Amino acid sequence: MGRGIISWRSIFKEVRIRSVSSKAKALARKYGYRPYMVERYLRILGYDDTVKLLKSFEKPVKPVIRCNDLRVNCKWLIKRLESLGFRLEYIGWSIHGYRVLESPSSPTIGSTHEYLKGYYYVHRDAAPLIPQLLLLHNNWEGVVLDACAAPGGKATHLAQLLGDRGVVIANDIVLSRLMALISHVLRMGYTNIVVTWCDLRKMPRLVSTRFSRILLDVPCSGEGTIMLDPGRKTRTTQVDLARIVAREIEILQAGLSLLKPGGILAYTTCSIAPEENEYVVSKILSLNPDVKVVEPPIKLLEWSNGVVEYGGLDLDPSTRKCIRIWPHLHGMIGFTICLLTKQ
C-alpha cells in the first residue's frame, strides 16, 4: 500500500466550484441551499432531475425496522406490531426489513415493548441495509471489521447475517456513540460482536490482524440525508467539504491497510457529493496501484452507477462500478457504496 497525505487546501483548489449559473442561484434561493450544491446537481443530473431531487428532499422518508430473527419469529412480530396500529411493508431485497408506512399516536416505533426486548432495530431508511448484504453475500463466514460502527445499525445487521458463522469487530472513535452501540448489542442479544474504541487511522500500527471483509461507513457531510436534517442544505461550505474529504481519504487509506489481499472493503457514505465518494476513491486508486473497484456481487435493486464525469475532475473510470442511491429515483436517502479490493 502506498502512503500519501493530501492536504485539504489542495483538495479545495481541485474540487472548488468557482462559477455558479443563474439557474443554480435561482433554485438555491427557492429551496434554501448553498448555490454550489445546486450547481453540482445541475452538472451531474441536468435541470429536470435536479428539480426532482430538490423536491424529494422536501418529503420525509419512512423509517425501516429490521426484524431480529435470532430472537423472534418475524411473522409473529409483524402481526403484533400491526395489532398495535402500525402498517408495515416488506422490503423484498432486504431479507429482514419492513418499511413503517403508518404509525399510531402511541407508542412510537422505537418505544414498544417489542423494541425494548430487542426484537427489531429501527433504521432511518432502507439504504443503509445494502452494504452488509453485499459484503456477506452467499453466506460468507469469518471475521468482519465494522470500522466506524457506532451507533450500531450496520454492526448488528452484520452480526445477524453472520449468526454463528463469524464475528464482528465493531470499532469507533466516539466513546459516547459506542455506548449507544453497546446498548443495542445488549438489547438485541448478539454474542458475536466485539466492541473496540480506536481512531481507525491509528489501528494499522496497533494491531497485527488483517481482515477479509471491512465495512467503512465514514463520517461525512450527510448530504444525502437533507430530508432528515434540513440544516444540511447550508451547513457545509466548500472549505468544510474539502476538510471532510481530506479526512475521508485518510480513513479509507487506513481501512485498506487493514484489508487482506483479495478481501473486500465496502466504502460507504450517506452523501451524494461526488467529492466524498468517486473523488475519494479515485485519489485512493492513484495512491495505491494494488487497489481496484469491484462490481457488486449481486444486484439487490435497480440502483444507479457511480459518477465518472463531473466538473473537469480527474475521476477514475472504474468508479462507474460504485452504487448510488438517489432520493428522487429510489425513494430512499442519498447513499453511495464503493466495493474495493487489493492484490
Backbone angles phi, psi at 215, to 5 degrees: -105, 125
Residue type for 174, please?
Answer: V
Whole-number pLDDT of residue 95: 96
Identify any residues that bridge with 168 across adjacent strands, giving them in sequence order. Answer: 144, 193
127-342 belongs to CATH 1.20.200.10: no
State which CATH number among 3.40.1030.10, 3.30.70.1170, 1.10.1740.10, 3.40.50.300 fits the domain covering 64-123.
3.30.70.1170
Identify any residues that bridge with 335 across adjacent strands, giving them in sequence order. Answer: 325
* 127 three-state secondary structure: helix
Number of C-beta neighbours around residue 87 at 10 A: 13
Q: Please confirm, yes or no, whether 322 is among the known catalytic residues.
A: no
> Rounded CA gap, 169 and 210, in Å?
12
Bridge-based pairing of strands 120-123 and 87-90 is unpaired
Number of C-beta neighbours around residue 85 at 10 A: 12
Bridge-based pairing of strands 120-123 and 142-146 is unpaired
One digit per residue, pLDDT tens: the chain, 343 residues?
444 479 999 999 999 999 999 999 999 999 999 999 999 999 999 999 999 999 999 999 999 999 999 999 999 999 999 999 999 999 999 999 999 999 999 999 999 999 999 999 999 999 999 999 999 999 999 999 999 999 999 999 999 999 999 999 999 999 999 999 999 999 999 999 999 999 999 999 999 999 999 999 999 999 999 999 999 999 999 999 999 999 999 999 999 999 999 999 999 999 999 999 999 999 999 999 999 999 999 999 999 999 999 877 879 999 999 999 999 999 999 999 999 999 9
Backbone angles phi, psi at 109, to 5 degrees: -65, -20
CA angle 333, 198, 240 (to 5 degrees): 50
Whole-number pLDDT of residue 310: 86
* 104 three-state secondary structure: coil
Cell of 78: 409483524
Domain boundaries, the chain: 64-123, 127-342
Whole-number pLDDT of residue 4: 46
Contact 175/145 with Cβ under 8 angstroms? no
* 313 three-state secondary structure: coil
Contact 293/321 with Cβ under 8 angstroms? yes
Q: What is the DSSP letter of 192?
A: S
**Catalytic one of 67, 148, 270, 338:** 270
Number of C-beta neighbours around residue 20 at 10 A: 17
